């Protein structure tokens, strides 16, 4: 009985999860006249890509900005987190535990608490309203979680490898480059996927710290929402939602197995 019930429940949950995706897809492929709440469940009588073309035209600048922000911010966060985690795990120094605790404390500071001082800092640095400013904000805010991931992963690396490098005369940077970094693939996979998803889906930083020229796709997607004064273009909205979510979906489809390997390798073990 259990062998039959368990797959049936999993199938039911999968269907429930995919119902909104079905509505998104079929509505995005309908012409404007057919798209609407009343016809949400029905297949298109006339298939159309007009909504997708309109969505691409509207979201293209934001997609470009999101790629710049997410890719650059993820790489910088991963590199800095790797260096921090390596020092905290393998090169102990007085006060290392206190420093690590402060890093952890940074994970629990809400965005709203740092918005005003962060905006003032970016204005002082002449980075307000720019992509570089948004990247800097995300990198600074992402360092704590990246440090935690790498620090806990490097704890599982045998100390004998680092000690052998020291005996051979390797310093801290050479040991990292030749011994630790080649073993860091699983941790980098977890960190890059985590940060890319967080940066791509960000809305609050983008609205508060960005400008129209630097707005990512999430802000432009929000701007496609209709108002009471105009007819709601459901076909464009649904296509826009799918288009904005495709990059993160592709990242998980292509790199999801590496993400799971990284978790199993101890990247998030404490």
pLDDT score for 265: 61
Rounded average pLDDT over 88-105 = 84
First to last CA, the chain: 38
pLDDT score for 264: 64
Please give the structure tokens belonging to residue 216.
Answer: 């990512």
Rounded average pLDDT over 27-51 = 83
Whole-number Å distance between alpha carbons of 78 and 145: 10
pLDDT score for 173: 86
**What's this model's pTM, rounded to 2 decimal places?**
0.86
Whether 225 has a pLDDT exceeding 60, the answer reads yes
pLDDT score for 231: 66
Q: How would you label 228-241 residue by residue, b for 16+ Cβ within 10 Å and e otherwise?
A: eeeebbbbbbbbbb
Whether 149 has a pLDDT exceeding 70, the answer reads yes
pLDDT score for 114: 84
pLDDT score for 53: 92
Whether 266 has a pLDDT exceeding 60, the answer reads no
Q: Which fold has domain 59-264?
A: MetI-like fold (1.10.3720)
Whether 268 has a pLDDT exceeding 50, the answer reads no
- The answer to whether 178 and 165 have CB atoms below 8 angstroms apart is yes
How many CA atoms lie within 13 Å of 74's alpha carbon, on the beta-carbon side? 24
pLDDT score for 267: 41
Q: How would you label 109-119 residue by residue, b for 16+ Cβ within 10 Å and e otherwise?
A: eeeeebeeebb
Three-state SS for the chain is: CHHHHHHHHHHHHHHHHHHHHHHHHHHHCCCCCCCCHHHCCCCCCCCCCHHHHHHHHHHHHHHHHHHHHHHHHHHHHHHHHHHHHHHHHHCCCCCHHHHHHHHHHHHCCCHHHHHHHHHHHHHHCCCCCCHHHHHHHHHHHHHHHHHHHHHHHHCCCCHHHHHHHHHCCCCHHHHHHHHHHHHCHHHHHHHHHHHHHHHHCCCHHHHHHCCHHHCCHHHHHHHCCCCCCCCCCHHHHHHHHHHHHHHHHHHHHHHHHHHHHHHHCCCCCC
Q: What are the boundaries of each domain within the chain?
A: 1-48, 59-264
How many CA atoms lie within 13 Å of 126's alpha carbon, on the beta-carbon side? 0
* Least confident stretch, 110-119, 189-198, 219-228: 219-228
Averaged pLDDT score across all residues of the chain: 86
> Who wins on pLDDT, 265 or 246?
246
């Amino acid at each position: 009985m259990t062998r039959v019930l368990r797959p049936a429940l999993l199938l039911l949950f999968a269907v429930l999860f995919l119902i909104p995706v079905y509505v998104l897809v079929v509505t995005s492929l309908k012409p404007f006249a057919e798209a609407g709440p009343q016809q949400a469940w029905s297949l298109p009588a006339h298939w159309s890509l007009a909504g997708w073309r309109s969505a691409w035209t509207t979201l293209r600048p934001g997609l470009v900005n999101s790629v710049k922000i997410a890719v650059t911010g993820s790489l910088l966060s991963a590199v800095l987190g790797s260096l921090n985690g390596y020092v905290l795990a393998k090169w102990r120094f007085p006060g290392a535990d206190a420093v690590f605790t402060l890093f952890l404390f940074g994970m629990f500071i809400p965005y709203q608490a740092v918005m005003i001082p962060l905006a003032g800092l970016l204005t002082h640095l002449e980075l307000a309203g720019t992509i570089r400013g948004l990247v800097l904000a995300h990198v600074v805010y992402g360092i704590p979680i990246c440090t935690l991931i790498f620090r806990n992963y490097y704890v599982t690396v045998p100390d004998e490898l680092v000690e052998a490098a020291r005996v051979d005369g390797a310093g801290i940077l050479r040991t990292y480059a030749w011994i630790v970094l080649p073993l860091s693939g699983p941790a980098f996979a977890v960190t890059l996927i985590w940060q890319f998803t967080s940066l791509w889906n960000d809305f609050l930083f983008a609205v508060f710290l960005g400008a129209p020229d630097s707005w990512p796709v999430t802000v432009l997607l929000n701007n496609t929402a209709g108002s009471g004064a105009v007819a709601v273009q459901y076909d464009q909205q649904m296509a826009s939602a799918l288009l904005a979510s495709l990059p993160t979906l592709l990242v998980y489809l292509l790199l999801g197995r590496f993400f799971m390997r990284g978790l199993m390798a101890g990247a998030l073990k404490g």
